[in-house]
Amino acid sequence: MSLLKKNDCVKQLILPLDHSPAFEDKDFVVSVANKEAYHSLMSWPQWSHPYLSIYGERGSGKTHLSYIWQEKTKAQYFTGHDFNRMDIEDLLKGEGPLILDDAHLIEKEEKLFHFYNHIMDKKGSFLLLSLFPPSQWTLRLPDLQSRLKVIPAIKIHAPDETLLSRLITKLFQDLQVRVESDVVSFLVKHMERSFQSADTWVERLNRASLIQKRRITIPLVRELLEEEARVEKHPQSLHPTNQDLSNDQWEGESQ
């Protein structure tokens, strides 16, 4: 006996589509929130120091910036997880600058200390991308801590309305979904202003559009905003009542 609703069956058929985000320089949205990070990064190799740290919340464009810089410098790209599992020789065997994304996830402090010293000895360059500046990382090694504290750290700030609108438009374009500008403006005026929220809303609206077979319009945005407000006001509404379960069961039996 199936207890699935018809909508549940539809949801199971909505598979995630593999749309790669656009990471070229022309696709990066420069604004007040990120222009210092962008212009500082693009001024390489005229940096005042051989290293730079850019930090900010998830979805703020740090990885996009790293792709732009990698294209410009032919840098090697590693994540914090890569750094933890790879041998130091493999990390350092290439030529040119290096990028460490999600660098705050690095756990091997001795390896990072050796990495830093090796690049300084070679007069190389490296870019750290993280949620927090290196000065706020919790480190055991005083020598490593003192070295990382001097790295210039630039923050990507919370987005303003203009950046948020352009970012949401870009995220929909990455999904090959056309959304009118008035819909984006309406969403921006009512959503939380953060990069993470932009990602969440684009994914949520795209999924609702696919499931309901509707275009993404102001009425659809309003419905989801009202649904979110109801859940925040009555979180227990997420859990079905006994009556709801009974109705679901009857619906399942009738299929």
Residue after which a domain boundary falls, among 155, 177, 195: 155
Q: Are residues 105 and 177 in the same domain?
A: no
Q: Which residue has the higher pLDDT, 232 or 13?
A: 232
What is the spatial distance between Cα 119 and Cα 49, in angstroms, rounded to a whole number? 12
- The number of domains in the chain is 2
Same domain, 121 and 151: yes
Is 255 a domain residue? no
Q: Please state the rounded mean pLDDT for residues 154-178.
A: 92
Residue 7: the pLDDT is 43
Q: Do 132 and 172 reside in the same domain of the chain?
A: no
Res 71: pLDDT: 93
Residues 31, 123, single domain; the answer is yes
Rg (C-alpha) for the chain, rounded Å, is: 23
171 with 209, same domain: the answer is yes
Cβ–Cβ under 8 Å, residues 40 and 156: no
- Residues 121 and 38 both lie in one domain: yes
Mean pLDDT across the stretch 49-59? 94
Domain boundary among 140, 155, 170: 155
Share of residues in the chain with pLDDT > 70 (%): 83
Coil, helix or strand at residue 160:
coil
Q: Are 194 and 161 in contact (CB under 8 A)?
A: no
CATH code, domain with 73: 3.40.50.300
Residue 69 is part of which domain span? Answer: 25-155
Query: Which pLDDT tens digit goes with each residue over 107-117?
Result: 999 999 999 99
To the nearest whole number, what is the mean pLDDT of the chain? 84
For residues 163 and 166, give the distance between their C-alpha atoms in angstroms, rounded to a whole number: 5
Q: What is the pLDDT of residue 69?
A: 95
DSSP string, 191-240: S--SHHHHHHHHHHHHHHHHHHT----HHHHHHHHHHHHHHHH-GGGGSP
59, 137: one domain: yes
pLDDT digits (tens, 9 = 90+) for 187-203: 999 999 888 899 999 99
Same domain, 167 and 54: no
What tokens were used for 125? 């360059």
Last residue of a domain, one of 113, 137, 155: 155
Kindly indicate the confidence band of residue 180, based on its pLDDT and cuts at 50, 70 and 90.
very high
Same domain, 48 and 149: yes
First-residue to last-residue Cα distance in the chain: 9
Residue 244 falls inside a structural domain: no
A 10 A CB-CB count for 254 gives: 6
**CATH code of the domain containing 232:** 1.10.8.60
Q: Supply the pTM of this predicted model.
A: 0.72
pLDDT at 234: 67
